[in-house]
Chains A and B, each alone.
Chain A
Amino acid sequence: MKQFEIIIVGAGPAGIAAAKAASKTGASVLVIDDNHSAGGQIWRGSDIELPCEFLAGARVIDGDASRRQITVEKSGVFKLSYKKLILCTGARELFLPFPGWTLPNVFGVGGLQALAKSGLSVQGKRIVVAGSGPLLLAVAAYLQDHGAVVPVIAEQASWTSLARFGLSLLRHPAKIKQALALKRSVRYVPNSWVTKASGIEKLETVTFQDGREEQCDYLAIAYGFVPNTELAQLMGCRLNGAFVAVDEQQQTSVPGVYCAGEPTGLGGVDESLLEGEIAVIGNRDRSKTTHFSQALNNAFTLRPELKKLAASDTIVCRCEDVTLGRLQEARSWREAKLHFRCGMGPCQGRICGPIVEHCFGWTPESVRPPIFSTKLENLIAVKETIHS
Chain B
Amino acid sequence: MLEIFVNGHAVKVTPKTSVAAAVLQSGQSAFRRSVTGEPRAALCGMGICYECRVSIDGVAHSKSCQILCESGMKVVTG
Contact = CB atoms under 8 A, between A and B. Distances in A.
Nearest to A200: B39
Interface string A292-331: 0000000000000000000000010011110000000000
Interface stretch (A20-28, A147-155, A264-272, A345-353): A345-353
Interface stretch (A105-113, A173-181, A248-256, A380-388): A105-113
Contacts of A319: 35, 50
Say what secondary structure dominates the interface of chain B.
loop
Contact of B42 (A107, A321, A345): A107
A351 B49 contact: yes
A112 B45 contact: yes
Counting chain B residues whose Cβ lies within 8 A of the other chain, the interface size class is: 35 or more
Interface residues of A, number: 40
Interface string A107-144: 11011111110111100000000000000000000000
A111 B40 contact: no
Contacts of B43: 95, 106-108, 111, 318, 351
B14 A119 contact: yes
B10 interface: no
26 contacts: A35-B46, A35-B66, A41-B46, A45-B16, A92-B44, A102-B34, A103-B39, A104-B29, A105-B29, A108-B44, A110-B44, A111-B44, A111-B45, A113-B45, A114-B44, A115-B21, A118-B65, A119-B17, A119-B21, A202-B41, A318-B51, A319-B50, A347-B49, A350-B48, A351-B43, A351-B49
- What are the 6 A-B residue pairs with the smallest beta carbon separation, nearest first? A119-B17, A114-B45, A104-B41, A111-B45, A118-B18, A120-B21
Interface of B: 13-14, 16-18, 20-22, 24-25, 29-31, 34-36, 38-51, 53, 61, 65-69
Interface of A: 34-36, 41, 45, 57, 92-93, 95, 102-108, 110-116, 118-121, 201-202, 315, 318-321, 345-347, 350-351, 373
